[in-house]
Structure 1
Amino acid sequence: MSEAIFHLEAEVRTDLGKGASRRLRREDKVPAIVYGADKEPVSVTLAHNKLVQAQEFEAFYSHVLTLDIAGEKVDAIVKDMQRHPYKPKILHVDFLRVDASKAIHTTVPVHFINEDTAPAIKTEGGHAEHHINEIDVACLPGNLPEFIEVDLTNVALGQTLHLSDVTFPEGVSSVELAKGESHDLAVVTIKAAKVKAADEAAEGEADSE
């Protein structure tokens, strides 16, 4: 993966408002704002084509990016992206500045691995029901993972993995788990196939006759 997707050129914009934003979009530019780290927000613009290319990579949303704003390099993460409801256009982006010494809260995607080869699925006919596809984490910017792996190899048929069962990278913690046991969200369940479950139910009824 090219590191270029994590480096974006941005220009400071002083012409603000909805009308100015519409004009920028007609020029294939995307209005954005950079805020946080106890500094004043800065309104900027980015080239639409460069941003579109970058956001096609999953890591773009869970990686510390470098914004080059009028010669100043700013580390930031994407906090929000507004898209056109039906056109392939990005309308606005919110970037949050990060401080290497301060923890950040953000979401990272979940990658379910060994799903096709897990015995409960491959040989016992189960299927994985994903309850969440991303996890809220807290960590220093330097520890931010691009994704978190959840291994299904040893998950039994009928078993549910929760956040407390997930192995987080060093220096990374779950925001929800920090709130207490009642926030131990379900992540994935290996369920029996509906056809198989129906067959077993029918067999049970026949045995009872």
Structure 2
Amino acid sequence: MAEVKISAEIRTEFGKGAARRTRRETKVPGVVYGHGGEPVHVALPGHDLMLALKTSNVLIGLDIEGRKELVIPKAVQRDPIKGFLKHVDLLVVKSGEKVVVEIPIHTEGELAPGGNLLEHVLNALPVEAEATHIPESVTISIEGLEAGASVLAQDITLPKGTTLAVEGDATVLQVLAAQAEEPTAEAEAGEEGAEGAEA
């Protein structure tokens, strides 16, 4: 995974008012922590951070006023309505270090005919990988799967150096049988009327 370089400023003001002022300056308040060091409160350029976070588990080369750190996003808060970034937690990592992250799940292929539904029991797959070699996603083939079929975590082929951070028998995807259509109220009324006429 390519490293994205971002510069950050140290924040000395805290609280909701200070966070709002930071966001008004098109910056995002955040905290950098890990490896036993004191958490560092920072302000990051909003546009650069937003672009970086389009990649899941992006590796960021952070320059905090001359201090260089490798970090990955651990918690991202967004405004539930407008979607802008409100706060980000960044975890310090070292090259070669293993970290536990969740990677997106993509599917390919078509289910067996019959109108069945695919349910994502897990929306992301917990894995352990080297901090500098985190897979961007995993792809699972659902080609020809029929109702009742499921895909377990242990069935998924992971990139070299990546291991599961969830039980192997955990269900990731399952195929649900198509629901029979409910009769409409009008159809039911028609049937009742016909029964009454026969009586």
The corresponding residue for 2:163 is 173
Task: Give the drift of 1:71.
Answer: 2.9
Determine the C-alpha separation between the residues in 2 that align with 1:185 and 1:192.
20
Out of 104, 129, 152, the residue aligned to residue 119 of structure 2 is 129
Which residue identity lines up with residue 177 of structure 2 in the other structure? A
Report how far residue 88 of structure 1 moved. 3.2
Partner in structure 1 of residue 190 of structure 2: none
2:49 pairs with one of 48, 51, 69: 51
Kept in 1, the 8 Å contact 2:28–2:87? The answer is: yes
Question: Aligned pair in 2 of structure 1 residues 127, 84: CA closer, same or farther (>3 Å)?
Answer: closer
Deviations 1:45-100 (A, max 9, x none): 01223323333x2x2x3222222222333211111112223233211110001112
- Helix, strand or coil at the partner of 1:52: helix
- Identify unmatched segments of 5+ residues in structure 1: 197-209
The reply to whether residue 16 of structure 1 matches residue 6 of structure 2 is no
Alpha-carbon spacing, 1:193–1:85, altered in 2? closer, same or farther (3 Å): closer
> Which protein has the bigger helix share?
1
User: Deviation per CA, 1:148-198, whole angstroms, max 9, x where unpaired?
Assistant: 111112534421111121112111111122xxx6xx2211122332239xx
Counterpart Cα distance in 1 of 2:103 and 2:57:
6
The one-letter amino acid paired with 1:89 is F
Larger radius of gyration: 2
Q: Judging changes above 3 Å, is the alpha-carbon distance between structure 1 residues 154 and 169 closer, same or farther for their aligned structure 2 residues?
A: farther
TM-score, structure 1 as length reference: 0.76
Q: TM-score, normalised by structure 2?
A: 0.79
Superposed displacement of residue 133, structure 1 = 1.3
Per the alignment, residue 184 of structure 2 pairs with none
- Listed one character per residue, the Cα deviations across residues 7-64 of structure 1 (whole Å, up to 9, x for unaligned) are 2221122233333222212222211111102322211101223323333x2x2x3222
Whether 2:191 is the aligned partner of 1:191: answer no
> 1:200 corresponds to which residue?
none
Identity over aligned pairs, percent: 34
Q: Tell me, yes or no, if the aligned pair for 1:63 and 1:145 is still in contact at 8 Å.
A: no
**Structure 2 unaligned runs (5+)?**
182-199
Match of 2:63 in 1: 68
Which secondary structure state, in structure 2, belongs to the residue aligned with residue 142 of structure 1?
Answer: coil
- Residue in 1 that maps onto 2:145: 155
1:152 alignment partner AA = I
More strand by share: 2
Aligned pairs for 1:112-127 within 5 A: 112-114=107-109, 117-118=110-111, 120=112, 123-127=113-117
Q: Tell me, in whole angstroms, the C-alpha distance in 2 between the residues paired with 1:84 and 1:156.
A: 39
